[in-house]
Structure 1
């Protein structure tokens, strides 16, 4: 079992700091003429609405966190509603994943920056000076948090220990390279496994993170940003996966997290997916689940490098009352407490957000519960992030992600060879506005 290392953990989300207490904004000098009377909503604030797109299991863990907050809070209660953010009145807080962001961020600004909410409420916030491997989406140009990245994960490999044992594989030592994994998949097939390997979010795991893991660029930045996923590494990797797909070593179930459910049901032996899936798999799988680092190509010089941290963030709606923002700030402060951070890591599986969360989670009693955090941190900090291996918000754009997914599917369906598909993805990305 891995030892929880403080130095490794603190390096994972580098540069954590505690902001000084926020001073109350100065009141403007009174004008000579009294302002005209305006209608002000003075009704008391009793509820703060929170909606999310985390799914049923993660949503249940969020409810536990909210229930604990409400039990110890005399002010407005946090109420979770199961609805889309864009139906009806804009909720106070929204935990949105990649699929929701395009609509939410288009048009007029619908959010109030988180750092501003906390400052105006006079609430200290232990914040991230975001590391380069973390998605920059929740940040503004000055690297200030405009949303709270509550669902950060990095792709790792999960495997069915029982299936490994039945196939004559060591359940305590998972394959480290893609070459080793191919040999293990062959043994799983020989043992009768009909779905040796599957993956969630193929574009994110098999292209974006695989490139960063080998210090290869995902995007080309300049006057116009575009994809850069048609290098030799990506072409060879996708071609290898295509051969696996034809040989039934690899099965695919969709563009999102559908594969996680198939793995949890025991249908597949190996899964690459977000590290945050760990506690869900622990609760749902009827077998022993192992977690290991994402495989790498051992014949590629310098690999492995680092993977990327990404996931849903919590946005605060614009246009709410000051009392509502104060209530939101108190809830954010609660979520960032050491106790809540450990609870969130343990129950939801996501990476810690601040130093108190990192340090509090070092308990040896929680080591097995936080195995995914160990592996994720190990990957994120394996080597210092480079200009090539840093995260970019560009692949998260819905239109760009769809391009990658469509071209990968053209390879799986044998309509294009890997090089043509990836060349096409790059060319299509250059036409995106």
Structure 2
């Protein structure tokens, strides 16, 4: 009996070891079977956390693909020499790139595979249902998608509900026009005692690009450069001159406190230090995740003297671009991941948690209806984006805009700080943009002028 029991124990022990070895082997096999893909992104901390949740869920629900994320602080860090050196060793499968208003240029890069070509070879369900209204910024002249528009956004106005109440203002009626907003900002300064009644992030988008779109005007002529970017020039007419002059006056009376082309002022609004903020809708996730911050959202103001009805802003933001030179299995894995992101439930949750625009109609229908009622004004923003596009809000194209946009921000800084009169700043911007886009020759240097005189 003792011998028999001992043998059984030995047998069980051996069996357990075998099962353990087989289990380990199976796990290893599954691990080896999973195709790894890497996604590089520049999402802010709140949106990064949501993206990480989606990726974690995707990795847990299947064993064929494993997605690895690599976060960068911003687009400058993502395109730095260090990042390029890293990409030379291991190119990411998907990379988040900001809209530069010249998507065709990005698509023609040797490291980029246009999305429509990729999707033709590796079909993705729901691919054809991507909303045209929210993806125009990433399409070519033939209306073909060049990248996956998962981070599309528009500029909006956020406002602090408690601040409005403290100032005796109706929190359900933020200023719809710039004149009405001015009156409210004065009360926020004088009655709610805000040192920062108004701040703006993404100042070029808010105070130049979408100043045109919101007032049903052209940002560039002819036809916003959509027929042909070559020949298009900035259309800074009296609307722009008057608006920047008004913003300078706001600076002088301390109702416009902080301006930047980055999203840095978002933090001041999240901390409750600024009462009103204009920024991208993709900042909503950060604010929604901020404890004790009660806020509403509204369209950018417009000038009712110029248009009886406000326009719709340009859709911009960023997108996920597919890279070239990857093995077939990695492309299949990439398609699998993008198909997952396209699922209505996933896309709806992403839209609601971040403030990025809905990817497709199905994601809008799958969204939690109560969410839109939880933030005053949000439902109106989404409904506005469902409107048909017009010639003034379909987008714009300007050659060299990736270089032009930073220059415009510098000129805005100079005007808003009082260093340069608004008219001079905008006139200088027009001339410099012509040179940067190739529409005008570069001015001769002082040394060249001296040589010519000799």
Do the aligned partners of 2:214 and 2:301 also contact (CA within 8 Å) in 1? no
Counterpart position of 1:56: 45
1:415-426 → structure 2 map (5 Å cutoff): 415-426=419-430
Structure 2 Cα separation of the partners of residues 114 and 396 of structure 1: 22
Paired with 1:160 and 1:216, the residues of 2 have a C-alpha distance of: 30
What pairs with 1:210-359 in structure 2 (closer than 5 Å)?
A: 210-220=211-221, 221=225, 224-284=230-290, 286-359=292-365
SS of the equivalent of 1:54 reads coil
1:75 maps to 64
State the partner residue of 2:176.
176
- Is 1:148 matched up with 2:148? yes
- Find the aligned partners of 2:229 and 2:313 in 1 and give their Cα distance: 26
- Residue pair 1:156, 1:293 contacting (<8 A) in 2 also: yes
The range that moved more, 86-95 or 153-162, is: 86-95
The question of whether the paired residues in 2 share the 8 Å contact of 1:242 and 1:411 is answered with: yes
Partner residue, 1:13: none
TM-fit CA distance, 1:338: 0.8
Secondary structure of the residue that 2:96 maps to in structure 1?
A: strand
Q: How does 1:120-131 map to 2 (within 5 A)?
A: 120-127=121-128, 131=132
Q: Pick which of 324-333 and 45-54 moved more.
A: 45-54
Within 2, Cα distance between the matches of 1:74 and 1:243? 60
Contact kept? 2:35, 2:329, Cα under 8 Å: no
Question: In the aligned structure 2, how far is the partner of 1:238 from the partner of 1:173?
Answer: 24
| Per-residue CA distance 1:297-344 (angstroms, 9 max, x = gap) | 121134412211111100111100001000000111111111111111
Deviation at 1:236, TM superposition (A): 0.8
Q: For each residue in 1:59-105, what CA deviation from the matched residue of structure 2 results, as whole angstroms up to 9, or x when unmatched?
A: 11100111111111110211112353534121111112248999x93
The whole-number CA distance in structure 1 between the counterparts of 2:243 and 2:84 is: 39
- Compute the TM-score of the two structures, normalised by the length of structure 1: 0.82
Q: Distance in 2 between matches of 1:156 and 1:393?
A: 22
**Residues 297 and 107 of structure 1: is their aligned pair in 2 closer, same or farther, counting only changes over 3 Å?**
closer
2:145 is aligned with 1:139: no
Corresponding residue for 2:205? 204
Match of 2:6 in 1: none
Change (3 A) 1:380 1:418: farther
Contact 2:154 2:313 in 1 (8 A): yes
Q: CA RMSD in A?
A: 2.6
Indicate the SS of the match to 1:431. Answer: helix
Partners of 2:386 and 2:322 in 1: CA distance: 30
Question: How do 1:97-136 residues align onto structure 2 when only pairs under 5 Å count?
Answer: 97-98=98-99, 105=106, 108-127=109-128, 131=132, 134-136=135-137
Q: Greater CA deviation, 336-345 or 92-101?
A: 92-101
Relative to structure 1, is the Cα distance of residues 289 and 395 closer, same or farther in structure 2, using a 3 angstrom cutoff?
Answer: farther
Deviation of 1:45 (Å): 5.6
Tell me how far apart the structure 2 counterparts of residues 159 and 223 of structure 1 sit (CA, whole Å).
36
Task: Return the offset for 1:128.
Answer: 5.3
- 1:278 positional shift: 1.6
Displacement of 1:223 in angstroms is 7.3
Distance 2:130 2:398 in 1: 20
| Residues 133 and 346 of structure 1: CA distance in aligned 2, closer, same or farther (over 3 Å) | closer
2:162 is matched with 162
Task: Give the paired residue count.
Answer: 387
Q: Distance in 2 between matches of 1:223 and 1:58?
A: 33
Higher helix share: 2
Shift of the 60–255 alpha-carbon distance from structure 1 to 2, 3 Å rule, reads same
Find the structure with the greater CA-based Rg: 2
1:399 partnered with 2:403: yes
Aligned partners of 2:243, 2:256: CA distance in 1, in Å? Answer: 13
State the shift of 1:268 in Å.
0.4
